[in-house]
């Protein structure tokens, strides 16, 4: 992993779980009949799997597709007086992620999904963001070695360096929290997931994951529109067609080269705005009772049974 070898120390280890539901979520969260089981699932992930944090989002263009992001940040992993170095600590963290695989709590959602959920276990030099905002996520799956792997690794390293200049540094801007000091992109996270061999890719599979956090929905729309101006920190302008020419252009090259590529625009604000309060409606029921109730309501409403 050339990128990770050169950019330590590691600051976050996390899993991305991709779910595709039979019914769409709304701008305020899951449909009412699914609220209790969804809340129970998230609570079980937090308590049974012992993750330090859990965030979830829905895809803007496909609201039935939901992402759950769970894991650790470095400041939460290290304890006072801990003598383990960064690599050792996160080797343990990522080993635990991979060994546990899909959280058991996800099984409770199986009746409501159109396909089996997918999971990636990621190690990254940056801290994953708690920011509840709009973000784009790029996932590029390649063999874990060879020319395609090296091409994608080099291109995403260029993206990482380019995006660095969007973020205001105190010594540069003197006022890092002022609105005019922020660029259209406020944070990025880049990590990789190495999986065992598959029939498609041979001895090993590498999934590159790139999160791009936008300052606002308006900033994202402006940045992606080649007819509008885009800005880095302190209102520095960039080429208006950069997103189309460089980002989307590179994505198409990855696809042409044989990589499996997925791009999503996610809204993490729904996690913060979701009004559901555990205990407000039958929360004291057993899990089995709640599952039967949720399944019956689902079949009645959407399957006519």
Instruction: For residues 81 and 179, state if they share a domain.
Output: no
- Average pLDDT of the segment spanning 228-253: 81
Q: Are residues 244 and 178 in the same domain?
A: yes
Give the C-alpha separation, 144 to 151, whole Å: 12
Higher pLDDT, 270 or 221: 221
Residues 124 and 193 in one domain: no
The Cα 42–Cα 235 span in angstroms is 39
**Which comes out higher in pLDDT, residue 75 or 156?**
156
Which residues lie closer than 8 Å to 237 by C-beta, 6 or more apart? 229, 230, 231
Q: Taking the mean position of all CA atoms in its chain, how far away is CA 283?
A: 29
Contact by Cβ (8 Å): 96, 45: no
pLDDT at residue 100 tops 70: no
Of residues 271 and 233, which shows the higher confidence score?
A: 271
Number of domains in the chain: 2
**Model pTM greater than 0.95?**
no
- Give the separation between CA 23 and CA 30, rounded to whole angstroms: 9
- Rounded Cα distance between 54 and 70, Å, is 5
Mean pLDDT, residues 26-30: 83
pLDDT of residue 259: 93
Q: What percent of the chain has pLDDT over 70?
A: 61
Better-scored residue on pLDDT, 15 or 180:
15
Q: Which of 217, 218, 193 is nearest to 270 (CA)?
A: 217
Residue 25 confidence (pLDDT) above 80:
yes
Q: Which pLDDT value is given to residue 62?
A: 92
pLDDT at 297: 47
Cβ pair 97, 15 in contact under 8 A = yes
Beta strand 260-267 pairing with 134-143: antiparallel
Q: What percent of the chain has pLDDT over 90?
A: 17
> Are residues 161 and 68 both part of a single domain?
no
Distance of alpha carbon 209 from its chain centroid, rounded? 8
What six digits make up the tokens of 42?
A: 């998230």
Pair (99, 148) in one structural domain:
no
DSSP code of residue 26: B
139 and 241 assigned to the same domain: yes
Q: Which pLDDT score is estimated for 212?
A: 86
212 and 230 together in one domain: yes
Q: Are residues 102 and 172 in the same domain?
A: no
Q: Domain check: are 144 and 263 in the same one?
A: yes
3-state SS assignment for residue 224: helix
Which of 168-172, 197-201, 290-294 is least confident?
168-172
Q: In the predicted model, is pLDDT for residue 252 greater than 90? A: yes
| N-to-C CA span, the chain | 51
Is the pLDDT score of 277 beyond 50? no
* 113-138: pLDDT as tens digits: 999 999 888 877 777 766 667 889 99
Query: Is the pLDDT confidence value at 177 over 70?
Result: no
Burial class (CB in 10 A: 0-12, 13-18, 19+), 113: middle
In sequence order, the 6+-apart residues with CB closer than 8 A to the CB of 192 are 1, 3, 4, 122, 123, 206, 207, 208, 209
| Confidence band of 175 (pLDDT split at 50, 70, 90) | very low
Identify the pLDDT of residue 96: 62
Region 240-252 average pLDDT: 88
Q: Is 254 in the same domain as 289?
A: no
Residues 213 and 112 in one domain: no
Q: Return the higher-pLDDT residue of 231 and 94.
A: 231
Q: Is the peptide bond before 9 cis (omega within 30 degrees of 0)?
A: yes
- Residue linked to tokens 């939901």: 66
Reported as a pLDDT band with limits 50, 70 and 90, residue 2 is very low
- Phi and psi of 99, rounded to 5°? -65, -40
Q: For position 227, what pLDDT does the model report?
A: 85
Looking at residue 145, which CATH number applies to its domain? 3.30.70.1150
**Euclidean distance between CA atoms 125 and 12, whole angstroms:** 7
Across the chain, mean pLDDT equals 73
Judgement on whether residues 169 and 276 belong to the same structural domain of the protein? no
pLDDT in tens, 141-159: 998 888 998 999 888 888 8
Residue 122, domain CATH: 3.30.70.100
Please give the residue range of the domain that contains residue 275: 1-130+268-294+298-302
């Amino acid at each position: 992993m050339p990128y990770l070898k050169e950019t330590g120390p590691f600051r976050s280890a996390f899993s991305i779980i991709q779910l595709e539901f039979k019914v769409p979520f709304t701008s305020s969260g899951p449909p009412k009949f699914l609220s209790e089981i969804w809340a129970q699932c998230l609570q079980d992930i937090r308590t049974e799997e012992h993750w330090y944090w859990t965030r979830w989002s829905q895809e803007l263009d496909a609201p039935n597709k939901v992402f759950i992001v769970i894991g650790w940040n470095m400041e939460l992993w290290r304890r006072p007086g801990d003598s383990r170095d960064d690599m050792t600590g996160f080797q343990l963290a990522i080993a635990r992620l991979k060994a546990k695989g899909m959280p058991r709590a996800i099984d409770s959602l199986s009746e409501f999904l159109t396909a089996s959920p997918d999971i990636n276990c990621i190690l990254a030099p940056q801290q994953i963001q708690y920011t509840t905002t709009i973000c784009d996520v790029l996932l590029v799956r390649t063999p874990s070695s060879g020319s395609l792997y090296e091409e994608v690794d080099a291109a995403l390293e260029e993206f990482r360096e380019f995006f660095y200049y969007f973020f205001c540094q105190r010594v540069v801007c003197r006022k890092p929290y002022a609105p005019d000091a922020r660029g259209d992109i406020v944070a990025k996270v880049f990590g990789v997931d190495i999986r065992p061999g598959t029939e498609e890719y041979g001895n090993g599979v590498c999934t590159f994951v790139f999160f791009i956090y936008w300052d606002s929905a308006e900033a994202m729309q402006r940045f992606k529109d080649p007819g509008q101006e885009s800005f880095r920190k302190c209102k520095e302008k960039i080429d208006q067609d950069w997103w189309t020419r460089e980002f989307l252009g590179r994505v198409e090259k990855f696809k042409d080269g044989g990589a499996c590529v997925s791009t999503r625009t996610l809204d993490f604000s729904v996690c913060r705005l979701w009004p559901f309060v555990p205990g407000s409606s039958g929360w004291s029921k057993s899990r089995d009772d709640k599952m039967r109730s949720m399944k019956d309501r689902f079949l009645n409403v959407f399957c006519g049974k």
